[in-house]
Amino acid sequence: MSDSAATSITDNTVLVMLGDHLQSHLSPIGFQRHGPATFKRQRTSSENAVLLHRRIETLPGGVRVCWITPIVQTNFEEVKRIAWAIRGPSKLPCVGGALGRFTPKRSLMEWPITDRNEARGVAEDIWQVINRWGTVVWDKTQTVEQTLNAIEEGSLPDQPPYWEEQAAMYLIARGLDSASNFLKRLPKLAPEQKTRAEDILRRSLEGSATPQKRPSTIIGI
């Protein structure tokens, strides 16, 4: 591997190259590129996202490896607004995580790159997994109600949304009583936390629990 190739895997060059290759697949299905390797798609009720997380590892002998982890997400603006009012500023997604956890392997999947010339092949491999399993996640999370159903059925194999997001989903899709019942089922949540969260949920219905600014909806692993 040349020195220039070694350098390129430790800066943004490899992400740009991966993004270039993925764009040819993601653009036809409605995704727009935001940054070197971040893609977002607006749907009627939700926003889907694909992004690549990179970590650099130095192996014995000084060989550097760039490990790429694709992440898929679904976000709902109103869910994020309410969850942020409960928890405070956050970049946590409504639903999402490392792509490999949504496959039958149920484990983290990383792709190694030691030379920038490997980018095209890696991007094609990643796209095949996105096309097979990422699309399943997005199909099951097109609306808040669909997302709740998938969570309750256990058909989203990665971790469920954080409790603040899930409480907001119950509020939006099924009303305050359902959201309150969900909070009561959280054994590790202190009584004062439940009371505060329920008050924020109630005020959200009245439009008085709006954060000062819109939270970001993109995060890595």
pLDDT above 90 (res 207): no
Counting beta carbons within 10 angstroms of the beta carbon of residue 85, is it exposed (0 to 12), middle (13 to 18) or buried (19 or more)? buried
Strand 111-113 relative to strand 95-98, pairing: unpaired
pTM to 2 decimal places: 0.84
- Tens digits of residue pLDDT in 67-122: 999 999 999 999 999 999 999 877 788 898 899 999 988 889 999 998 888 999 99
Q: How far apart are CA 170 and CA 161, in angstroms?
A: 12
Query: Residue 23 has which token pair?
Result: 């764009």
Query: Residue 108 has which token pair?
Result: 């983290």
Tell me what pLDDT residue 1 has: 47
Count the Cβ atoms, other than its own, within 10 Å of residue 214: 11
- Tens digits of residue pLDDT in 38-69: 999 999 989 999 999 999 998 888 888 999 99
**Per-domain residue ranges for the chain?**
3-205
